[in-house]
Amino acid sequence: MINNSEQPEFWEKNFIDKQEMWGFDPSKSAVLIKDFFLEKSIKNILIPGIGYGRNAQIFKDNGIKVTGIEISKTAIEMATKHYGADIQIHHGSVTDMPYDKYRYDGIFCYALIHLLSSRERKKLIKDCYDQLAENGYMIFTTISKEASTYGKGSVVSKDRFEMFGVLKCFFMTESL
Ligand SMILES: C[S@@+](CC[C@H](N)C(=O)[O-])C[C@H]1O[C@@H](n2cnc3c(N)ncnc32)[C@H](O)[C@@H]1O
């Protein structure tokens, strides 16, 4: 089994120490994608790496049912506290997908895929595609080589760097 052994502790510790570290507002991408999903009459979505749920509420407020996957138990507890128990969140790594047999109209994966290895990234895309309803849409946002953090930390492989002593981050380009 492919597994990402170091990162669960990294994320758990971060959420315990820093709590709601990105605030409560949804990301700009979530705001844009909410409009896109509404235009496409999307009714239910999966958010892999949902964190404490800041990107979930905007979909929920617009009548879209949200299911999440999250590796940090603390982040899940925070999401439930802030956004209610009607957002179901599977606890575990996306590398162990699928967690259910649903087909989702939409998948919104924000700032997660670049944290995975090459094999894990391919598996995530395939697993998400396998859970997509016919005519569904899946959207991934990722860090790019334009980011100021590109090249920081120690080199793991081409365009992949280890930061904070544990977090491995892959910087993408349009051609990938
Ligand atoms: C950069 S954060 C983004 C969080 C959230 N998408 C947001 O924007 O608020 C990455 C998130 O993915 C989670 N995560 C990291 N690796 C994961 C994995 N292998 N499986 C599931 N979740 C993971 C982290 O705990 C964290 O919540």
Q: Based on the fold, state whether residues 31 and 99 are members of the same structural domain.
A: yes
- Omega of the bond prior to 98 within 30 degrees of 0, cis? yes
Q: Based on the fold, state whether residues 151 and 108 are members of the same structural domain.
A: no
Indicate whether 93 belongs to any domain: yes
3-state SS class at 152: coil
Question: Residue 157 has which token pair?
Answer: 């492989």
* pLDDT given at position 175: 64
In whole angstroms, give the CA distance from residue 73 to residue 68.
12
CA of 126 to the centre of ligand 1 (A): 18
Pocket around ligand 1: residues whose beta carbon is below 6 Å from it?
4, 7, 11, 22, 27, 49-51, 54-55, 69-72, 75, 93-95, 110-112, 115
Q: Which residues contact 73 (CB under 8 A, 6 or more apart)?
A: 12, 91
How many domains in the chain?
Answer: 2
What is the DSSP code (8-state) at residue 172?
B
Reply yes or no on whether the pLDDT at 3 is more than 60. no
Reply yes or no on whether the pLDDT at 160 is more than 90. yes
Indicate whether 1 belongs to any domain: no
Give the mutation target among 2, 5, 11 for probing the ligand 1 site: most ligand atoms within 8 A of CB: 11
* pTM exceeds cut of 0.85: yes
Residue 131 burial (10 A CB sphere; 0-12, 13-18, 19+): buried
Q: Which residues contact 85 (CB under 8 A, 6 or more apart)?
A: none
Helix 7-18, helix 73-83: angle, nearest 10? 40
Indicate whether 88 belongs to any domain: yes
Alpha-helical segments (H) within 67-170: 73-83, 118-130
For residue range 79-128, what is the model confidence (pLDDT) as tens digits? 999 998 889 999 999 999 999 999 999 999 999 999 999 999 999 999 99
The radius of gyration of the chain from alpha carbons, rounded to an integer in Å, stands at 16
Indicate whether 2 belongs to any domain: no
Mean pLDDT of the chain: 93
Structural domain of 163? 145-176
